[in-house]
Amino acid sequence: MKNKIECRRQKTDNIRQNMGNRGRWLVVAGRFMIAMMLLVIFNYASCKYGFKDIGGLPPEVTTFRVNYFENRAEYKNPQLSPLLTEKLKQKIISTTRLRQTNDDDAHYDISGFVSGYFTSTTGISESATSLNRLTTTFHIIFKNTLDEKKNFEADVTFSVDFDANLSLSQVEQQKGDEITKNLTDAIFNKIFSNW
Chain segment 116-147, per-residue pLDDT in tens: 999 998 877 776 668 899 999 999 999 999 99
Helix axes 168-192, 80-95, angle to 10 degrees: 40
Assign domain 63-192 to its CATH architecture: 2-Layer Sandwich (3.30)
Quote the DSSP letter at residue 148: G
Mean pLDDT score of the chain: 83
Phi and psi, residue 158, nearest 5°: -140, 135
Quote the DSSP letter at residue 133: E
Percent of the chain surpassing pLDDT 70: 70
Mean pLDDT in residue range 53-59: 68
Closest C-alpha to 95, from 59, 141, 54, 145? 54
Instruction: Kindly provide the residue ranges of all beta strands, DSSP E only, lying in 32-175, ordered along the sequence.
Output: 63-66, 70-71, 99-100, 108-125, 128-144, 152-163
CA angle 73, 74, 79 (to 5 degrees): 55
Closest C-alpha to 187, from 133, 148, 140, 134? 140
Domain locations in the chain as residue ranges:
1-48, 63-192
CA quadruple 52, 58, 62, 64: dihedral sign: negative
Chain segment 176-193, per-residue pLDDT in tens: 999 999 999 999 999 998
**Comparing 63 with 40, which gets the higher pLDDT?**
63
Q: Is the pTM of this model over 0.85?
A: no
Quote the DSSP letter at residue 104: T
In the three-class reduction of DSSP (H, G, I as helix; E, B as strand; rest coil), residue 173 is classed as helix
Q: Judge whether 158 and 182 are in contact, CB under 8 Å.
A: yes
